[in-house]
Amino acid sequence: MASKAMPIATVLLRIFTILFAAGCVVVLILDKTTDVDGSKVTFKNVIAYRYVLATAVVGAAYSILQLPFAIYYACTEKRLIRGGFLPAFDFYGDKVMAFLLATGVGAGFLVTVELKEFLGDLFKEFGADLKDSPFESFFNKGYLAVSLLAGAFLCMAVLSVFSSLQRTTISGRGFFR
């Protein structure tokens, strides 16, 4: 039972990573608002949101690429590609993707906090409140998108640990041997 649990968990985590990353992409693409002067503001106007979108797309694409291999391994308990290439690819790929998603989360959260604070102070200077402006909803959707990306990162981080464990059991060597 325990030998089958990790491959099944790997498949589920890859699916959740895809869902979280796709949700992030959808929310960011739909994140639009119109300023009081009629100009439209989208995620494209915030460079960090474009980076968040790119990391979500790359993370989803990587997980989609890995999903058939994970499903095959969960069903047959054999690697589709024999040898050490696929475990090594899982090991290094999961680590790189986890760090990439983490940078997207950090950039998205920080730019949202900074822009919200900056615009809040700017609105206060003119006697208005950010909560009464359309930008409040825009930034809240930004928080939602980045939170979904954080979910994708957490799934990928757990996958990174799993790929480390699987690589150790396949090679038969630990770090100090």
**Within-domain flag for 177:** no
Task: Tell me how far apart the alpha carbons of residues 177 and 175 are, in angstroms, rounded to a whole number.
Answer: 6
* pLDDT of 1 over the 50 cut: no
DSSP H/E element including 173: none
**Within-domain flag for 76:** yes
Q: pLDDT for 115-147, tens place per residue?
A: 888 888 887 887 777 777 788 889 999 999 999
DSSP H/E element including 175: none
Q: Which domain holds residue 133?
A: 2-168
Using 50, 70 and 90 to split pLDDT, how confident is the model at 15?
Answer: very high
* pLDDT of 168 over the 70 cut: no
**Within-domain flag for 174:** no
**Within-domain flag for 20:** yes
Task: Tell me how far apart the alpha carbons of residues 16 and 95 are, in angstroms, rounded to a whole number.
Answer: 17
Instruction: Kindly tell me the sign of the dihedral angle through the C-alpha atoms of 7, 13, 19, 21.
Output: negative
**Within-domain flag for 175:** no
Listed residue (65, 42, 58, 73) closest to 142, CA to CA: 42
* pLDDT of 176 over the 60 cut: no
Task: Tell me how far apart the alpha carbons of residues 102 and 91 are, in angstroms, rounded to a whole number.
Answer: 17
Angle between helices 47-76 and 85-125 (to 10 degrees): 150
Listed residue (22, 27, 24, 21) closest to 138, CA to CA: 27
**Within-domain flag for 65:** yes
Mean pLDDT for 143-168 is 90
**Within-domain flag for 160:** yes
Say how many domains are in the chain.
Answer: 1
Mean pLDDT for 41-48 is 91
Task: Tell me how far apart the alpha carbons of residues 94 and 62 are, in angstroms, rounded to a whole number.
Answer: 9
User: What is the structure's pLDDT at 144?
Assistant: 97
**Within-domain flag for 41:** yes
DSSP 37-88: TS-EEEGGGSHHHHHHHHHHHHHHHHHHHHHHHHHHHHHHSS-SS-SSHHHH
Dihedral angle, C-alpha 18, 23, 24, 30, nearest 10 °: 150
Mean pLDDT for 137-161 is 95
Taking the CA atoms of the chain, what radius of gyration do you get in angstroms?
20
Mean pLDDT for 64-93 is 83
What mean pLDDT, rounded, does the chain reach?
87
User: What is the structure's pLDDT at 154?
Assistant: 97
User: Percentage of the chain with pLDDT > 70?
Assistant: 90
Mean pLDDT for 148-169 is 87
